[in-house]
Amino acid sequence: MSFNSLTQFAWWKTYLTPKRYSHNKIPDLTGKVAIVTGANSGLGYATTVALAANGARVFLACRSRERAQEAIENARAEIKAKYPKAPTPQLEFLELDLNDMTKSSQAAQEFLKKGLPLHILVNNSGIMNCPYALSADGIETQFAVNHMGHFVFTMGLLDRIKESQPSRIVILSSLAHEMTPKHMNGIDFDTINDETKSGNWDRYARSKLANVLFGKALARRLANEKVWVNVAHPGYVATNLSRSTKDVWGNFADKVFRMVTKIAAMSPRVGALTQLYLATSPEIESKDIRGRYFIPIANEIKPIHYASDVDLQEALWVFSEKLAKEKIKA
């Protein structure tokens, strides 16, 4: 990664933008049904608490039932303590393994069986900077979990989301998408599984670029629906997303990163405000905000580089559909 490429990034804007949303602006969500992926910790947990505290029925889409149930109990206690006037929280577990496309598809089907509407889908879950590995489907793990699992899960729920409109889909990305190396040409479809063609961080950037491309392509397809799709970069937030730092860069780097995080990072409660804005603010509908990219706190910027490439957005869509069709088992 060169200094010249660093100067092109927009990450620095996250420290200069105003806070345009707050928890007290979240409207009454009584009657709304939401799904939050990766809801047992970090941003997903903070999002779940905020939605449930304002009346939404929230499904915590997680891989581990045990961790989800613990999060549910913690959320109930937190809502009772911080939101004394809140209704009784409606929180439920939905098993979701984004590392396996068949299981991601099955998770969507399990929700559909409940016969409920779906007004809010927050694709929050993700992994970062992990050592090279392949998913259950033989796909590079960061691309598989961050993009393909969510692609399959979202598409499985899309008809229900459309039936439930007005509704929202929020896709979490990262400004790291700007770090996708030039040799990848945006997304190197033919060499995604080639370990020699990219490093751990390159693969993370590629997966986050895929999130932006998917969000924009999906928003375009839903342009005539009352379904608002937008993409969020939450900012530098103190979560466990960096749990692979020690394995990849060693003890010293891990200690430095933890120290910097304590000093500079937002809490998950604050960091979640951008995705909560996209999921709940009346402005999204009144101003018809769709297919946009937002950074903290609820400030829009225009994605640069490959993220704005419509041809690449469509190429990823075709690639993802084909790959899902090949890998999902009946």
Residues annotated catalytic, as ranges: 204
Would you tell me how many other CB atoms lie within 10 Å of the CB of residue 86? 14
Mapping DSSP onto H, E and C, the string for 49-62 reads: HHHHHCCCEEEEEE
Inter-CA distances, 217 with 165, 172, 316, Å:
19, 15, 9
Taking the C-alpha atoms of residue 62 and residue 44, their distance in angstroms, rounded to an integer, is 10
Is the CB of residue 248 less than 8 Å from the CB of residue 129?
yes
Would you tell me how many other CB atoms lie within 10 Å of the CB of residue 45? 25
Is the CB of residue 148 less than 8 Å from the CB of residue 321?
no
The SS3 of residue 65 is helix
Say how many residues make up the chain: 330
Of 285, 238, 266, the closest CA to residue 120 belongs to 285
Handedness of CA 49, 207, 310, 12 (dihedral sign): positive
Taking the C-alpha atoms of residue 142 and residue 125, their distance in angstroms, rounded to an integer, is 11
Instruction: For residue 247, give every residue at least 6 positions away whose Cβ sits within 8 Å of its Cβ, in sequence order, or none.
Output: 130, 131
Instruction: For residue 294, give every residue at least 6 positions away whose Cβ sits within 8 Å of its Cβ, in sequence order, or none.
Output: 230, 231, 232, 233, 274, 277, 278, 300, 301
Instruction: For residue 200, give every residue at least 6 positions away whose Cβ sits within 8 Å of its Cβ, in sequence order, or none.
Output: 129, 130, 131, 132, 142, 244, 248
